[in-house]
Amino acid sequence: MVGRIQVDASRQIVSMSSDLFASLLRSSIAPVFDERWYLEKYPDVGKAIRNGTIRTALEHYVEHGFYENRMPYAIRVDETYYADKYEDVKTALDGALINSAQEHFDEHGFREGRLPSEGWQLTEGPTAIDFRVGANGAERDGPDAARRRKAGHDRV
77-127 tens-digit pLDDT: 999 999 999 999 999 999 999 999 999 999 999 999 999 999 999 888 875
* 125 or 129, greater pLDDT: 125
Give the side-chain half-sphere CA count within 13 A for 118. 6
CB 149 within 8 A of CB 83: yes
Q: What is the pTM of this model?
A: 0.72
pLDDT tens digits, 49-85: 999 999 999 999 999 999 999 999 999 999 999 999 9
CA dist., res. 91 & res. 105, Å (int): 14
CA dist., res. 58 & res. 34, Å (int): 9
Q: What is the pLDDT of residue 3?
A: 63
